[in-house]
Amino acid sequence: MTVEVVVVGSANADVVVRVERRPGPGETVLGSDTVLAAGGKGANAAVAAALQEARVALLGAVGDDQHGELLRESMSGAGVQLDLVRTTDRPTGAAYITVTPDGENTIVVSPGANSAVDVDQVEAAKDVIAGAKVLLASLEVPLPAIERAVALANEAGTRAVLNLSPVAKLSRQTLAALDPLVVNEHEAQWLMDGATDLTKLLDLGPKSAVVTLGSRGALVIEKHGTTEVESPRVTAVDTTGAGDAFVGALITQLAAGDDLAAAARRAVRVAAVSVTRPGAQASYPTRGEVDSARGMV
Is residue 25 situated within a structural domain?
no
Q: Which residues contact 235 (CB under 8 A, 6 or more apart)?
A: 276
What amino acid occupies position 73?
E
Structural domain harbouring 222: 5-20+32-292
Q: What is the pLDDT of residue 3?
A: 95
Mean pLDDT, all residues of the chain = 94
Annotated binding site for substrate: 12-14, 40-44, 140, 244
Catalytic residue among 244, 258, 259, 291: 244
Quick check: 84 pLDDT over 80? yes
Is residue 267 assigned to a domain?
yes
What span, in angstroms and rounded, lies between the C-alpha atoms of 143 and 138?
A: 9
Question: Binding site: residue ranges?
Answer: 12-14, 40-44, 140, 184, 212-217, 238, 240, 243-244, 274, 277, 279, 283
What pLDDT is stored for residue 280 in this prediction? Answer: 86
Domain annotation covers residue 260: yes
Is 258 among the catalytic positions? no
In a domain, 231, yes or no: yes
Structural domain contains residue 225: yes
Number of domains the chain contains: 1
Within-domain flag for 26: no
Distance, in Å, from the CA atom of 271 to the CA atom of 232, rounded to the nearest integer, reads 10
pLDDT for 296 equals: 54
According to DSSP, the β-strands at 159-163 and 134-138 are parallel
Q: Give yes or no for residue 243 having a pLDDT over 70.
A: yes
Report the distance separating Cα 31 and Cα 293, nearest Å.
32
The whole-number pLDDT of residue 294 equals 65
Assess if residue 113 is contained within a domain: yes
Give 18-74 pLDDT, tens digit per residue. Answer: 999 999 999 999 999 999 999 999 999 999 999 999 999 999 999 999 999 999 999
As annotated, the binding site for K(+) includes 238, 240, 274, 277, 279, 283
Domain membership of residue 159 (yes or no) is: yes
For residues 58 and 157, what is the distance between their CA atoms, to the nearest angstrom? 19
Residue 225, SS3? strand
Count the residues in the chain: 297
Distance CA(111)–CA(41), nearest Å, equals 11
CATH number at residue 118: 3.40.1190.20
